[in-house]
Amino acid sequence: MPELPEVETVRRGLAPYLVGARLAQVEQRRPDLRFPLPDRFVQRLTGATVMSLERRAKYLRAALDTGETLVCHLGMTGRFLVEDEAPGRFVRSAGDDPKHTHVVLRTQAGVTVSFNDARRFGYMELIGAQVLERHPWFAGLGPEPLGPDFGPQALADAFAGRRQSIKATLLDQRVVAGLGNIYVCEALHRAAIHPERPAGQVSAPRLGRLAREIVATLEEAIAAGGSTLRDYRDAQGSLGYFQHAFKVYGREDAACVRPACRGVVRRMVQSGRSSFYCASCQK
């Protein structure tokens, strides 16, 4: 499933084409994705202007001048792809099997944005702006790891007294919004913290290092266009490249890349998810 860097990369790819654009035509090719599409979906979107496009956790949120927000989740295989018909601009064909293209947005400027999702685990909703933050998808979310409310103190407050493993705690969206399995594994290795360590037993200096490594890992991943393991593409159809910089994720039995460490990357299962770590340098 795309994680925060992948969703942020998609947002940055879509923003130049959608922000300020009027949706001149909307095409809905099926009644549902993972969940049913909103009532009167086409009518409510057609003619609307996109005022802003933001990411919250793993969601994309397009604020409309109608007072509603189009909320989108990519699910496992969802992709937004752009075709720009404006003169003098680069044109990229969507390229995916059209039978899996379920929603098409065409702007007044001649840009086509298609949502293609082979497995249909993605979903969309239209939510009133005044109730957006109270919606169940957003009401309980923790701070954004790249936002001003995140840092060592936020982790210390969330971890206080917790016996749950630090890996499971970081995956709790109420603690930090948007973190997923890949980037938690990578950040814990960079911070030299074992994924099974109880969250409440991490010292303040190590929490400071962890907070820095979470931010650095995410920023590096975004700069690399995210990670492509199976299906992920950005809005222009390009692959992500951060997977080539993984230090532990997916590297079971490989040598640890930390200088002077002679350890080997191991894999274990925590709460049904694979954790990759070095038992020698992560304590």
167 in active site: no
Q: Are strands 68-73 and 123-128 parallel, antiparallel or unpaired?
A: antiparallel
User: Is-contact 35 78, C-beta < 8 A?
Assistant: no
58 in active site: yes
283 in active site: no
29 in active site: no
The residues pairing with 113 across neighbouring beta strands, listed in sequence order, are 82, 105
Pick the catalytic residue: 44, 209, 212, 273?
273
Pick the catalytic residue: 2, 5, 145, 195?
2
Here the tokens at position 120 are 């249909």
DSSP letters for 182-234: HHHHHHHHHTT--TTSBGGG--HHHHHHHHHHHHHHHHHHHHTT---SSS---
Pick the catalytic residue: 58, 79, 190, 206?
58
Pick the catalytic residue: 3, 125, 186, 213?
3
Here the tokens at position 19 are 């922000």
The residues pairing with 70 across neighbouring beta strands, listed in sequence order, are 62, 126
Instruction: List active site positions.
Output: 2-3, 58, 273
